[in-house]
Amino acid sequence: MEHVTRIVIIGGGPGGYEAALVAAQLGAEVTVVDRDGLGGSAVLTDCVPSKTLIATAEVMTTFDSSYEELGILVADGTPDAADPARVVGVDLGKVNRRVKRLAIAQSHDITQAVTRAGVTVLRGRGRLGAGGQGLDGSREVLVDHTDGRVESLRADAVLISTGVRPRELPDAQPDGERILTWTQVYDLEELPRELIVVGSGVTGAEFAGAYQALGSNVTLVSSRDRVLPGEDPDAAEVLEDVFRRRGMNVMSRSRAVTVKRISARTEVAEGPSSPKAGKEGGVGDRVEVALADGKVITGTHCLMAVGSIPNTTDLGLEEAGVAVNDWGQIKVDRVSRTSAPGVYAAGDCTGVFMLASVAAMQGRIAMYHALGDAVQPLNLKTVASNVFTDPEIATVGYTHADVSCGKMDAVEIKLPLRGNPRAKMQGIRDGFVKLFARPGTGIVVGGVVVAPRASELIHALSLAVDNNLTVEQVANTFTVYPSLSGSTAEAARQLHIRKREGAGS
Ligand SMILES: Cc1cc2nc3c(=O)[nH]c(=O)nc-3n(C[C@H](O)[C@H](O)[C@H](O)COP(=O)(O)OP(=O)(O)OC[C@H]3O[C@@H](n4cnc5c(N)ncnc54)[C@H](O)[C@@H]3O)c2cc1C
């Protein structure tokens, strides 16, 4: 009889369920143990819900700029007299019901696909058994079922992909009503009138932009000099300018130390208000955020976006010999192996690059490796990522930081979108295309696109980076006229000319 490898996967997010599909395809006997539902946080609380909310926010932004820029008026006589730039409002309860419906449907679809592939799905908490490897090299995985039963499984290889959860500050405890984590916002029935977002990384920036577009008055508290400290500095500058222009209060170099609920009566300063947003008037109906410099700001709601904590405690890692770093993230190599033989890890719990696409790739790589298939080690230099703000910020390959610290020798060009004919027609004023290329060969090693739907436009640059294409090849590829992607070809053309001038001098 043919040998069948037993694979047990703890955690059914993109890292886990994509691995399960690959392992089943390769003929393994696969079990996925998940606590909350397949799709993981990516589908149930993080990626899918936030992008669904942002889909509504995007339409609102289009409407908001439609009057000034494109001359659109809605038929019943709006724009709003109190806010002439705003022509429509939003029913947040309805939006959130759609968000949750889509998330559950997506989780259901994934469960069906995985089950159809022959994978066994168990609902419960998984952990490594204490016994280490058996004589046959296998390991025990214990499953704590919701009804209290503990089931023991044996696996020839285990994949841990348990994800992360929102980090909470001791003096800013979320209550799910007014002080919220990003997983809790979808229970809101009414739009927060004055929302304070603490944290200006990708999650904070995405939610701040979305709620501002939906009609909240947003204050963004950033402990750093600018929003999106990890992104391209020119891109972050564009976004911060847009945020401020749209009325967001961006507080730089401001660290929140405590967040608590207060009632309107105890409040010292009243923030601005919008007639379209939620109502309050009771005890504890406001929040107060104290900053490290002594300033105090208040609002109706506070969203905490101050990073995440890996779900790696209570998994029996130490006993099994699985090493973690100081942040509790599981250490892995480029084929997702941990320090313990037969134990692999993928996704956010490894902290490698916290994206659904990377989690999925790490999970697949783990299975190719465990099951003896050909495997390409993970290459982070070709990962495309996107910040879903308006405008979006999409990035691939080497970055400005890599070039300025000398990690990559590259020339750089930035072409603003405002000169692009399609951008002019569509009323797009903000954004640019940036390219990084090797000085001698002109090989494209990185790029940034700041534009509406940059997430779609970056693909041309991803192809270039992934396939070592040169600026000439990008420049000489036809683009549609008029189109925003024309700017990608034009940037490459300018870099090509600059390269030739450099060569001649
Ligand atoms: C607000 C937000 C928006 C995001 N948007 C994007 C985006 O647009 N694009 C993108 O690429 N990435 C996005 N991300 C990141 C993306 O969500 C993560 O990279 C992705 O979820 C990682 O997948 P994973 O499989 O590692 O973990 P998860 O998706 O977190 O799944 C882990 C699963 O493991 C389960 N689990 C945990 N412990 C156990 C246990 N002991 N036993 C059994 N099950 C367990 C959890 O319940 C969960 O179901 C976003 C993140 C956030 C916070």
Q: Where are any strands of DSSP class E within 238-376?
A: 249-251, 256-262, 286-291, 296-299, 301-304, 308-310, 343-345
Atom of ligand 1 nearest to the CA of 14: 25
Reported residue count of the chain is: 505
CA of 350, closest atom in ligand 1 = 26
- The arithmetic mean of pLDDT across residues 287-294, rounded, is 97
Residue whose C-alpha is closest to residue 416's, from 431, 401, 403, 405: 431
What atom of ligand 1 comes closest to residue 43's alpha carbon? 29
CA of 53 from ligand 1 middle (Å) equals 17
Retrieve residue 136's tokens: 């046959």
**Span from the CA of 41 to the centroid of ligand 1 (angstroms):** 4
* Mean pLDDT computed over every residue of the chain: 92
pLDDT at 1 over 50: no
Would you state the pLDDT for residue 132? 85
Domains assigned to the chain: 6-45+100-166+309-380 (3.50.50.60), 179-306 (3.50.50.60), 391-504 (3.30.390.30)
pLDDT at 78 exceeding the cut of 60? no
* Nearest 10 degrees: Cα torsion 465, 471, 477, 478: 110
Q: What does the pLDDT look like over 310-360, one tens digit per residue?
A: 999 999 999 999 999 999 999 999 999 999 999 999 999 999 999 999 999
pTM of the model: 0.93
- Mean pLDDT across 490-496: 93
Q: Confidence band (pLDDT; 50, 70, 90) for 505?
A: very low
What pLDDT does 80 receive? 60
User: What is the CA(415)–ligand 1 centre distance, in A?
Assistant: 35
Note whether 209 and 57 are within 8 A (CB): yes
Residue 239: its H or E element? helix 233-245
Task: Check whether 453 has a pLDDT greater than 90.
Answer: yes
How many CB atoms within 10 Å of residue 101? Answer: 11
Report the alpha-carbon angle 460-465-471, nearest 5.
75
Task: For residue 231, give Cα distances in angstroms to 20, 214, 381, 396, 401.
Answer: 32, 24, 15, 11, 9
Q: Whose CA is nearest to atom 15 of ligand 1?
A: 355
- Per-residue pLDDT tens for 411-428? 999 999 999 999 999 999
